[in-house]
Amino acid sequence: MLLHVRLSGWACWCLFSGVFSVFSLQQRLTVNLNGKWRLSNSNGSLLLPAQVPGCVHSALQQQGYITDPYFRFNDVSYRWIALDNWTYTTTFTLSAELSVKQKVLLVFDGVDTVGSVSLNGIAVGKTNNMFCRHEQSSFSWDWGPSFPTMGLWKGVRLEAFDILQLVQVSSVPLYNDAFSQWRVQIELLIDAVQTARGQLTLSIPELDSEQTFQTHFNPGKTKSNFTILINTVLEMTPVSLLCYPPQVYFRTVELIQEPVVGSPGLSFYFRINGKPIFLKGSNWIPVHSFQDQVTPDVLKNLLQSAVDANMNALRVWGGGVYEQDLFYEICDELGIMVWQDFMFACAMYPTETDFIQTVREEVVQQVQRLKSHPSIIIWSGNNENEAALATDWFDIPASQRPKYIRDYVMLYVDNIKKLVQEEDQSRPFLVSSPTNGAESEQEGWVAENPYDPHYGDVHFYSYILDCWDWRTFPRTRFASEYGFQSWPSFSTLQPVSIKEDWSYGSNFTSHRQHHEDGNQQMILQTALHFHLPNATDPLKRFTDTLYITQVMQAQCVKTQTEFYRRSRSEIIEGKGHTMGALYWQLNDIWQAPSWSSIEFGGKWKMLHYFAQSFFAAVFPVAFEEDDTLVIYAISDLSRDLKLRVNVFSWTELDPVCTLNSSMLLVPGGSAVAVFKQPVASLLAGCGNCTRLTCLLTFQLEDDSSQQGPTNYHFLCSPKDAQGLRRPNITVKVEEKKTCFSVTLHSDSVAPFVWLDVGNIPGRFSSNGFLMVSRNRTVDFNAWRPTSVAELTASLTITSLRDIY
Ligand SMILES: *[C@@H]1O[C@H](CO)[C@@H](O)[C@H](O)[C@H]1NC(C)=O
Ligand SMILES: *[C@@H]1O[C@H](CO)[C@@H](O)[C@H](O)[C@H]1NC(C)=O
Ligand SMILES: *[C@@H]1O[C@H](CO)[C@@H](O)[C@H](O)[C@H]1NC(C)=O
Ligand SMILES: *[C@@H]1O[C@H](CO)[C@@H](O)[C@H](O)[C@H]1NC(C)=O
Ligand SMILES: *[C@@H]1O[C@H](CO)[C@@H](O)[C@H](O)[C@H]1NC(C)=O
Ligand SMILES: *[C@@H]1O[C@H](CO)[C@@H](O)[C@H](O)[C@H]1NC(C)=O
Ligand SMILES: *[C@@H]1O[C@H](CO)[C@@H](O)[C@H](O)[C@H]1NC(C)=O
Ligand SMILES: *[C@@H]1O[C@H](CO)[C@@H](O)[C@H](O)[C@H]1NC(C)=O
Ligand SMILES: *[C@@H]1O[C@H](CO)[C@@H](O)[C@H](O)[C@H]1NC(C)=O
């Protein structure tokens, strides 16, 4: 026997090392059973062809039995589908070649969820966990519809082989401090029909490393562990957000929880290759109710959108699905760090032996499948279950509490944590999110207050308090969830609605809102700072309302994220050293109001354009404290920077006055105050300015040019602004080499200028901006062929003064 495994697939190595793809000389015959199967319901009234991989809903839709499940109220009309039982059937013949093999396996990569499998009428297997590969779960959250799905959502195949086959290869790089040497730990899962002895060669051509082992496998499935020492001296480069395609970097990950000077509690931050890194990003939810409809293009577009908004991290949240391999491959390539939850969320789970057994299988399979991906920097046991116990979401009687806590520890600590740490020593494990981390452990794994800002991570939501007031936010070590809702744009809603749905008070509008009082909360939060739309034309009033909810959301998340970023370097009243801001949520599962910054279909909301700025590597942020204006420079790089402040009046496109600071070194990975002045003295020095008549813009510069985006600060709510006129904005669209350019000309100051080209898919280089210049040009990248004429005809421009 000779087994040769080549580990390769070094893609674009940014911070990371690691995805190994597999190549084996061992012959195995695979017969793909994907394709057309037959599908029937329990009483036989429906019998139809069905695509595998796929699910029942998709099959019914493809065959015309149902229309789009996302249309209007169809989530209710189609409940019968989930209440029925369905059978997938296919026939296949075993080729002679296949039938002489010593072992033939029938492999189902994903069965959703409870099912049984029979072959020639004989039951051969049972399934009850959609996250296990066979050979729960994710519906009806407040951002999505209730479509419990059924089906063969991944592939089905026959695998036949003699002697042995390689089922899976996974690998993690580990660094040995004592010897200053990297080694790669490689794990092979081997299925052997008979005892096999021989020579195994493991090679990593890109690193010029190869090692040969004498091996011996017993019959059955066995895991074997090998270590290759890496001899090539690898330059340990500092963490950088740039990609250097031809190079290979190894990375270490540490989660640092240690005492903080001047603060009770413990720090909570990630150190990558020895450098502290601030996680900037968002939370990821399933892309579609029907996973078989998630295409590579959709995944690529969403992940590229995250990177383009200057995010470096995403949390794959525990109420959804373990994503497909391609998701992690793209993250590896783009340098997105993944916080990976296990799929347990907001509930108490049973701890019967059967359940624990299926969980253990799920955990082992997922860790083995995913651990070779360098993008994953942490495993996390569950979403909000520690908090649910600590703050008693489920009214557990006091006498039962110890039992619930024991069950919690048994599932997440004694089983999941232990297993994961056996399988993967290369990255940290956190039991829950939010949690106090090491402090929670001290308190028996359920802390008295898992939201304590002095420890671990925090989830924080408040819809009623004024989001423009940063004092309402907890100064946490790490903000792993926070956010505000908004509505998607009209072009996203239009295909799933009809005219009578197009008002804020319609049944449709209420039906799509799955968060209690959500629509009302958005209006209340908006009204704190903006006039509400009052157009007499109902459709305009509706689209203006969609727009203003996006303005509100973008401003709220901007304020909160700026607060976290500027809290990076300081401790105030014992709190601070914030090292992560992951807002809730990146993407949408359907066309409905939610916390997302990207709409179903990929269109960026105003928030996502804002994220481009508030996550920028270099960025100035302003806030007021006791009527003093303070401006911080935030920098992930190390630069000498100075600040320029322009004061504008709402009535004029030329600044009333300009203030410059002197040069100051802003160290890499820091936030430092660069400007401090009482608002009153600032205004007194600037023409006739008052809080109601003027506003500020400001930017950082080095000796030669502007660094990072321009930011702004309002001195009053825009609803109170004096002199803000309805602008006359004219526009010209031109075709350039690779995109279209849109040049705007305005005759007055215009806040939140929003360009929308309806259902032409694509995105602008910038949008939702404050216009304080006569002219501004932005690019539009179309995702399908279009023309100047089509764009010009579709383009609408809305700014704040257009809605009242
Ligand atoms: C068979 O099942 C379908 C779908 O659940 C249902 O609409 C129909 O009424 C059933 N027919 C009979 C005869 O029970
Ligand atoms: C589906 O199967 C379950 C379990 O066998 C059974 O209890 C239920 O009545 C079936 N439903 C229908 C609609 O046939
Ligand atoms: C692999 O081998 C190492 C070193 O012997 C050991 O610490 C580790 O637990 C093994 N891993 C597995 C998954 O068996
Ligand atoms: C809204 O739904 C209610 C209750 O289902 C119904 O009575 C009412 O007619 C619906 N209104 C419209 C405008 O469809
Ligand atoms: C600030 O700097 C800019 C650019 O160098 C210059 O045009 C402007 O006059 C300066 N303003 C003040 C008040 O010094
Ligand atoms: C201040 O306002 C007065 C009265 O409106 C006007 O005459 C004067 O020119 C203004 N001064 C400046 C510096 O704008
Ligand atoms: C808007 O501006 C354009 C170009 O500057 C001008 O031709 C047009 O008359 C203006 N419209 C209004 C209503 O003022
Ligand atoms: C601004 O746009 C107007 C109208 O399109 C044009 O006439 C003018 O030359 C532009 N100004 C600058 C500085 O580009
Ligand atoms: C809308 O509100 C604005 C500001 O309160 C007011 O000036 C305007 O007349 C209102 N328009 C309508 C159509 O009611």
pLDDT digits (tens, 9 = 90+) for 262-286: 999 999 999 988 899 999 999 999 9
Among 172-186, 312-326, 641-655, the range with the most confident prediction by mean pLDDT is 641-655
258: in domain = no
624 and 549 in a common domain: no
Give the active site residues.
384, 481
3-state DSSP of 52-108: ECCCHHHHHHHCCCCCCCCCCCHHHHCHHHHHCCEEEECCCCCCHHHHCCCEEEEEE
173 and 130 in a common domain: no
In short, whether 536's Cβ falls inside 6 Å of ligand 9 is: yes
Whose alpha carbon is nearest atom 3 of ligand 6? 688
Hey, how many other C-beta atoms are within 10 angstroms of the C-beta on 222? 15
Q: In the predicted model, is pLDDT for residue 254 greater than 60?
A: yes
Domain boundary among 565, 582, 612: 612
What does the pLDDT read at residue 209? 77
**Domains identified in the chain, total number:** 5
Q: In the predicted model, is pLDDT for residue 577 greater than 60?
A: yes
Which secondary structure element, helix H or strand E, spans residue 518, and what is its range?
Answer: helix 518-527
| pLDDT bracket for residue 49 (50, 70, 90) | very high
Domain boundary among 612, 630, 663: 612
What does the pLDDT read at residue 232? 62
Cis status, amide bond into 113, omega within 30 of 0: yes
Across 681-774, where does the E strand assignment appear? 694-701, 706-714, 729-735, 740-746, 750-756, 762-764, 769-771
513: in domain = yes
In short, whether 42's Cβ falls inside 6 Å of ligand 2 is: yes
Domain at 748, CATH number: 2.60.40.10
- Please state the φ and ψ torsions of residue 18, each to the nearest 5 degrees: 120, -15
Domain at 438, CATH number: 3.20.20.80
238: in domain = no
245: in domain = no
Domain at 88, CATH number: 2.60.120.260
Hey, how many other C-beta atoms are within 10 angstroms of the C-beta on 351? 18
Question: What pTM value is reported for the model?
Answer: 0.92
Whose alpha carbon is nearest atom 6 of ligand 9? 804
354 and 225 in a common domain: no
CB 447 within 8 A of CB 414: no
636 and 523 in a common domain: no
| Ligand closest to CA 225 | 3
655 and 737 in a common domain: no
625 and 608 in a common domain: no
Percent of the chain with pLDDT over 90: 69
The single residue listed with the structure tokens 């704190």 is 528
CA angle 58, 62, 63 (to 5 degrees): 120
3-state secondary structure of 357: helix
| pLDDT bracket for residue 20 (50, 70, 90) | very low
352: in domain = yes
490 and 596 in a common domain: yes
Q: Tell me the CA–centroid distance for residue 533 and ligand 3, in Å.
A: 63
What does the pLDDT read at residue 190? 86
Our measurement of the distance from residue 644's CA atom to the centroid of its chain's CA atoms, rounded to an integer in Å, reads: 34
What does the pLDDT read at residue 137? 40
Name the residue range of residue 625's domain: 618-716
190 and 303 in a common domain: no
DSSP per-residue letters across 134-196: B-------TTS------EE-S-EEEEEESSEEEEEEEEEEEEETTTTEEEEEEEEEEEESS-E
Index of the ligand 5 atom closest to the CA of residue 657: 13
Q: In the predicted model, is pLDDT for residue 428 greater than 60?
A: yes
CA angle 319, 324, 327 (to 5 degrees): 95
Radius of gyration of the chain (CA): 28
Per-chain mean pLDDT for the chain: 89
In short, whether 773's Cβ falls inside 6 Å of ligand 8 is: no
Side-chain-side CA neighbours of residue 554 (13 Å): 28
| Pick from 18-22, 74-78, 99-103, 170-174: least confident | 18-22
Which secondary structure element, helix H or strand E, spans residue 328, and what is its range?
Answer: helix 325-334
Domain boundary among 160, 179, 212: 160
Give the model confidence (pLDDT) of 103-150 as tens digits. Answer: 888 888 877 766 777 777 777 766 666 555 544 844 556 777 777 777
436 and 559 in a common domain: yes
Mean pLDDT of 745-768: 98
Index of the ligand 3 atom closest to the CA of residue 187: 13
386 and 320 in a common domain: yes
| Pick from 184-198, 483-497, 585-599: least confident | 184-198
21: in domain = no
606 and 636 in a common domain: no
Alpha helices in 651-801 (DSSP H): 679-684, 788-794
| Pick from 210-219, 347-356, 484-493, 755-764: least confident | 347-356
In short, whether 423's Cβ falls inside 6 Å of ligand 3 is: yes
In short, whether 774's Cβ falls inside 6 Å of ligand 8 is: yes
Q: Which residue has the higher pLDDT, 188 or 377?
A: 377
Query: CB under 8 Å to 61, separation ≥6 — which residues?
Result: 67, 68, 69
181 and 146 in a common domain: no
| Ligand closest to CA 642 | 5
249: in domain = no
721: in domain = no
